[in-house]
Structure formats: structure tokens, C-alpha cells
Amino acid sequence: MAIVLFDTNIIIDMLDGVPEALEVVAGGEYESKIISSINWMEVACQMTPERIADFRIKLLRLDIDVVQTSEQIMVRAAAIRRASTKENTKKTLPDCIIRATAEVENRIVITRNARDFGGPGPFVHVPYILEHGVVSNVRPPLA
């Protein structure tokens, strides 16, 4: 069974009622599911206090933990950001923190934007593509 970190776009899709996102989040047989505190903030900043309360409940019901940024995550995020600057692929600091959280926690990132996390590979899973409200290229949830 996989241990995963959901990226912000997957969580937003799920909350917006995209069936494929709900299937990815709730349908996979994961050993453990997390989001980073950065993911939480990116989602919550778009919500009213009432919706934030509902969001917290949904995370609890789906057994998704929120991982805070530790010193180990900070150091790894700084290294990722520094490398992206040198490679001229300059990643945003939030994406670096999310990627560092996944790496430090040994997680597979589930996202719609693999580029933010070093591209497709064994530690990045793109379950579907969503463009202009249309879902395509649906892949089965990780097991």
C-alpha cells in the first residue's frame, strides 16, 4: 500500500466535486495520507471560516493528516529551491516546501502538475488531467 501526499490541486478538485479527485483521495487503498501545512493554507485561504471548519472535518473523515514544516523539511526545501534557481527552472517556495515534505516523509506526491515536483517518475503520480473542466487520461488510484 502506498503512502502519499496530496497536492493542493487534487484537494481543491475534490472539494469542488470532481468525481475523479474524490476517487483518488477516498478510493485508493493507502497506508497513510497527508498534506503539508502549505497545502492546507493554499486551500484554506480561499475559504470562509465556516468552510474551513468543514474542510477540517473532511480531512479527519478521510484520515488525511496535516504535516507541519520541520527543520528537516526547511533545509530540504531550501536545497530544492537553490538547485532550481541554478538549473533555471526556478520553483516557487511553496512547491519546494511541499516537495520537501514529500521527500522527508518518503511519500509519493499525487498531483496534476508533475513539473512542480521534478517531473513524472516513481515519486510523482498524475491520476488525471483536468483542462477547461474536462477530465481526461484517468489513471487508477495507487494501491
C-alpha–C-alpha distance, residues 130 and 45, integer Å: 22
Q: What are the structural domain ranges in the chain?
A: 12-136
Residue 71 has pLDDT above 70, yes or no: yes
Fold of 12-136: Rossmann fold (3.40.50)
Which ranges of the chain does DSSP label H, i.e. alpha helix? 8-15, 19-27, 37-44, 49-61, 71-86, 93-104
The model carries a pTM of 0.92
pLDDT tens, position by position, 21-70: 999 999 878 999 999 999 999 999 999 999 999 999 999 999 999 999 99
- Assign 143 a pLDDT band (cuts: 50, 70, 90): low
Mutual orientation of helices 93-104 and 37-44 as an angle, nearest 10°? 140
pLDDT tens, position by position, 81-109: 999 988 888 889 999 999 999 999 999 99
The residue among 1, 2, 4 whose CA lies nearest residue 111 is 4
